[in-house]
Amino acid sequence: MSTGERDDTGTRRPPLSGLLVADFSRILAGPYATMLLADLGADVIKVEGPGGDDTRTWMPPVRDDVSTYYLGINRNKRSIALDLRDPEDLTVAQELAARADVMIENFKPGGLRRFALDYDSVAAGNPGVVYASISGFGSGAGAALPGYDLMVQAISGLMSLTGDPDGSPYRAGISVFDVMAGLHASIGILAALHHRGVAGQGQHVEVNLLSSALSGLVNHSSGYVAGGVVPYRMGNAHPSLFPYEPLPTADGELIVIAGNDGQFRKLCQVLGVPDLVDDPRFGRNQDRTANREQLRPLLVDRLRTRGKDEWFRDLLAAGVPCAPINTIDDGVAFAEELGLNPVVEVGDGAATVPSVRNPITFSTTPARYELPPPGLNEHGEEIRKWLTRN
């Protein structure tokens, strides 16, 4: 069905309706990618081993005895449990791959070859397939390395940038490169599907966490590659901007940002120190950055005269970017106040599961939230029947 076409009820279908995705991935990067595709209408069949996706056991926290980690990345999918070492199950898996528009996997590179589920084997019978592989360190010299996000945070250099300047390196609070790799995989899959629509041929899309990490380090990796500068840990400070960090107020810290000279001028006006703009040490961003140790106490002296909520209100009203340092519940509540509707109910009836909405908004073909994250092999029987009937 073409993008934007209406179904029998007159409702416009999501943009990826009619696309079959065979999801042989597990943990985070692959399931996150396929959930995004499923939200946009793709029929995602989640293939799990007999024990299920590892994240089913990653708890606490839980909801109704199910890991919320698993719930957060597996909505809108159907589950089938297959033991690839069992000949009958392997035949089912191969038939699914043969029919899929997209196949995605994150086994160790080459790990599916012995099951004839590697790209070359699948493409031999399904030349239009878009086959996406996610690994930790690529399919070359790094193929044998385990692909854990924390390893990549360490190896890529991210941890060297995170934490207090005189303290220990820290990991990010989430598996940031798993998420990035999932996003990159989704982009690669959609690009390959577009190519298939134009040229009539599928292809192999490869994404690895380390390459995603180096791309995602943006200004830091560019600073080294293009400028020869090795960045270092600066706590909450920014290497190229000031102020761009938490600053203390009378009752707690507030993120204060002057991303350009105009914002700094507004900041000084609200703080009641307009003369700082004319100080040659602070007039331009590069001057403020070079003289941050002289400027910081002057700003803090003014910020300490009032509470963070008052400053937040007045600075935002003046066009100065700033923010309280919230907990997750506060962040969700703030998004709700803005009308961003961050929480959706997935499924219908009494079996709905609250979930964080897909971040993309479409004017014509909205995301769907029809299927709650599936139980292990919940749809196994119907999928097997469908594969053998057609």
Could you read off the pLDDT of 52-81 as tens digits, one per residue? Answer: 999 999 999 999 999 999 999 999 999 999
Range of the domain at 131: 20-218+342-389
In a domain, 272, yes or no: yes
Residue 37 domain flag: yes
Q: What is the DSSP string of 156-180?
A: HSHHHHSS-TTS-----SS-HHHHH
For residue 53, tell me if it sits in a domain: yes
The number of folded domains in the chain is 2
Q: Judge whether 8 lies within some domain.
A: no
- Whether 24 is covered by a domain: the verdict is yes
Instruction: Please give the DSSP secondary-structure letter assigned to residue 350.
Output: G
CATH of the domain at 283: 3.30.1540.10
**Shared-domain flag, residues 190 and 87:** yes
- Clarify whether 178 is annotated catalytic: yes
Whether residue 373 is contained in a domain is answered as yes
CA nearest neighbour of 190 among 101, 313, 312, 112: 101
In tens, the pLDDT along 206-243 reads 999 999 999 999 999 999 999 999 999 999 999 999 99
Buried b (16+ CB within 10 A) or exposed e, 364-382: ebbbbbebbbbebbbbbee
Q: How far apart are CA 244 and CA 232, in angstroms?
A: 16
Is residue 109 included in any domain, yes or no? yes
Same domain (yes/no): 75, 137: yes
Last residue of a domain, one of 295, 317, 336: 336
pLDDT score recorded for residue 171: 97
- Residues 259, 127 share a domain: no
Residue ranges of alpha helices (H) inside the chain are 29-39, 68-71, 87-99, 119-125, 149-156, 158-161, 176-199, 209-216, 218-227, 261-271, 285-290, 292-303, 308-317, 328-337, 380-389
Whether 112 and 38 share a structural domain: yes
* Residue 5: pLDDT over 80: no
Three-state SS letters, 86-102: CHHHHHHHHHHHHHCCE
Contact 123, 195 (CB under 8 A): no
Q: Are residues 197 and 254 in the same domain?
A: no
Q: What is the percentage of the chain residues whose pLDDT exceeds 90?
A: 95
For 45-79, the three-class secondary structure string (H helix, E strand, C coil) is EEEECCCCCHHHHCCCCEECCEEHHHHCCCCCEEE
Asked whether the beta carbons of 372 and 378 are under 8 A apart, the reply is no
Asked if 300 and 327 sit in the same domain, the reply is yes
Residues 32 and 139 in one domain: yes
CA atoms in the 13 A half-sphere facing the CB of 66? 16
Q: Quick one: 199 and 324 in the same domain?
A: no
- 51 and 176 share a domain? yes
Catalytic residue among 39, 118, 149, 178: 178
* CATH classification of the domain holding 210: 3.40.50.10540
| Overall pTM surpassing 0.85 (yes/no) | yes
Beta bridge partners of 133: 105, 206
The DSSP call for residue 105 is E
Q: Are residues 88 and 188 in the same domain?
A: yes
Task: Please classify residue 362 by burial: count the beta carbons closer than 10 Å to its beta carbon, then call 0-12 exposed, 13-18 middle and 19+ buried.
Answer: middle
Work out the pLDDT band at 388, boundaries 50, 70, 90.
confident
Same domain, 329 and 368: no
Q: What is the DSSP letter of 12?
A: B
Give the Cα separation of 197 and 199 in Å (integer): 6
Query: In the predicted model, what is the mean pLDDT of residues 310-321?
Result: 97
Confirm whether 15 is domain-assigned: no
Ramachandran angles phi, psi of 223, nearest 5°: -60, -35
Q: Are residues 166 and 312 in the same domain?
A: no
